[in-house]
């Protein structure tokens, strides 16, 4: 447990909770605590799915600008890769991961949400990449994950203008997956991942690896990657259980092995 990020585990769900009031600014310490939280939820077998949550008022309103204001090119060139990899650690959690977004998810906060598999957004939330207004660009995945999610033209609109989008527009362009009242955001995130808690953990892991990894490959390489992951699942107990249950016309009892 860090000073600003803590992991709560309950009923198979690991909640990575940001607690740096008032706006959950993502300074260097928060970044490194997110990396540690990703490692913890990855390693803990009790955790079958993950929710990234900033609390009832705000998800994360961006990086800590006061921390960055006096940094030089030399300073940031030494830090930038660590910043990006901290968010990438969330993306690489081999389990279903959903961002539960209230208030604002701006700059680094939006990039953190983009590192998750899905985004449940409060109906009064605002999302965006306003870095251009500071004379910089997103540096923790915003130009890359956003373009892959909503397409290059929409990503350029958001990144080049720095404008915020509301929940309805976020849903329309694919930046949000579900929009609910602010008081229901966390519960909606739980409902989204609940079906995976009793699922075949190794197959879920392989599916996520296949999709995310395949996006970085040409089709032939992606198909080869898929085939490798597919074949590997034939060594799991859950494969045997799933197919036996199908033949026997019963519900499978997956153990994650």
What residues are labeled active site?
63, 108, 111, 131
8 A C-beta contact, residue 241 and residue 252: yes
Query: What letter does residue 177 receive in the DSSP assignment?
Result: S
- CB within 8 A of 184, min separation 6: which ones? none
- CB within 8 A of 17, min separation 6: which ones? 5, 6, 7, 8, 53, 54, 55
Angle between helical axes of 73-91 and 28-43 (0-180°, round to 10): 30
Alpha-carbon gap, residue 12 to 65, rounded angstroms? 36
8 A C-beta contact, residue 122 and residue 57: no
């Amino acid at each position: 447990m860090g000073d600003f990020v803590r992991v709560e585990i309950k009923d198979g769900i690991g909640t990575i909770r940001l607690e740096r009031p008032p706006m959950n600014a993502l300074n260097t310490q928060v970044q490194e605590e997110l990396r540690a939280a990703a490692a913890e939820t990855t390693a803990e077998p009790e955790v079958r799915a993950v929710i990234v949550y900033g609390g009832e008022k705000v998800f994360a309103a961006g990086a800590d600008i006061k921390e960055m204001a006096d940094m030089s090119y030399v300073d940031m060139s030494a830090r930038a890769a660590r910043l990006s990899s901290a968010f990438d650690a969330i993306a690489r959690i081999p389990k279903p991961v959903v961002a539960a977004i209230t208030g604002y998810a701006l700059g680094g906060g939006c990039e953190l949400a983009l590192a998750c598999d899905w985004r449940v957004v409060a109906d009064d939330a605002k999302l965006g990449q306003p870095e251009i207004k500071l004379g910089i660009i997103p540096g923790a995945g915003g130009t890359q994950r956003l373009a892959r999610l909503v397409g290059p033209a929409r990503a350029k609109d958001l990144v080049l203008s720095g404008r915020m989008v509301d929940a309805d527009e976020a849903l329309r362009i694919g930046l949000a997956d579900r929009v609910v009242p602010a008081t229901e955001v966390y519960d909606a995130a739980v409902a989204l991942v609940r079906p995976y808690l009793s699922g075949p953990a190794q197959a879920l892991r392989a599916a996520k690896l296949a999709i995310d990894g395949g996006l970085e490959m040409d089709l032939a390489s992606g198909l080869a990657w898929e085939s490798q992951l597919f074949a590997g699942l034939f060594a799991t107990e859950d494969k045997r259980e799933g197919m036996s249950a199908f033949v026997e016309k019963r519900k499978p009892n997956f153990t994650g092995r």
